[in-house]
Structure 1
């Protein structure tokens, strides 16, 4: 028996679904739609974001971060490059480069900074949700300062 070229494995189908979820999250971010953003995270999400504290636990804390962004920006753009996923059953992890940029409420345009982004995903009721995310910047060891002018 020959498998048709259109056949896709479970892992391939999951990767398509994962990418679709991230794209929908980006759409919600660009629309400044907190309810839309919320739909892409687990209720117990743990986030290691670039802002203090070291970790943000739960969907309320994650949404507070995005609400602060939405208050600062008139228009939000969010870009992801080189997104790669590894899938295993009902869990997956992904990594990419991400950049938040746009127009601030004062009219100033910001190009933002590229960060290293990691996503820990869980499939719950047939839907991939972000259970963990991390955004980070490299730092110079001798000064301890973050390096925010790098590009992928």
Structure 2
């Protein structure tokens, strides 16, 4: 019989799968169900933080304006699960076919998810996406792979 922690971890992994599914389907309504209303996102796009689910969805909507077909993958997601909060880290890659027909393999980024258990559902309360940067040039390094 699985422990409550194992059950919760499985539910959180399902939420990560739903992010992938929602992005591939360009389903903003489905994605909205995965976040707390007050989510704080440290995304790769300015500004430094995006506060609230509507701000987070605007970022995803912007992605959909550039891509004809979207693919997203999460790799090496490691989770630490508590009773009411959990966090995870791994790597994510957004790729696909741009509206002009150009295929892009995207770039790997570092991702961190923080979840809160609300009414039995694990929702993303915070996420952070980043790329390493080269200290000498001050530029992001976008060609690394896990």
- Structure 2 residue corresponding to 1:134, chosen from 97, 112, 128: 128
Q: What do residues 73-107 of structure 1 show as CA deviations (whole Å, max 9, x unaligned)?
A: 00000011000100111100000100000000000
Structural RMSD (CA): 0.5
Q: Which runs of 4+ in 1 moved over 3 A?
A: none
TM-score (norm 2): 0.99
- 2:142 aligns to what? 148
Paired with 2:5 and 2:136, the residues of 1 have a C-alpha distance of 43
- 1:70 aligns to what? 64
- Say whether residues 1:121 and 2:115 are aligned partners: yes
- 1:109 aligns to what? 103
Q: Which runs of 5+ in 1 are unaligned?
A: 1-6
Which secondary structure does the structure 1 equivalent of 2:100 belong to? Answer: coil
Which secondary structure does the structure 2 equivalent of 1:82 belong to? Answer: strand
- 1:34 aligns to what? 28
> How many correspondences in the alignment?
146
- 1:45 aligns to what? 39
Deviation at 1:8, TM superposition (A): 1.0
Paired with 2:132 and 2:141, the residues of 1 have a C-alpha distance of 6
Paired with 1:63 and 1:71, the residues of 2 have a C-alpha distance of 13
Which secondary structure does the structure 2 equivalent of 1:112 belong to? Answer: strand
Paired with 1:98 and 1:24, the residues of 2 have a C-alpha distance of 14
Paired with 2:119 and 2:20, the residues of 1 have a C-alpha distance of 22
More strand per residue:
2
TM-score (norm 1): 0.95
Deviation at 1:143, TM superposition (A): 1.2
Q: Which runs of 5+ in 2 are unaligned?
A: none
Which secondary structure does the structure 1 equivalent of 2:30 belong to? Answer: helix
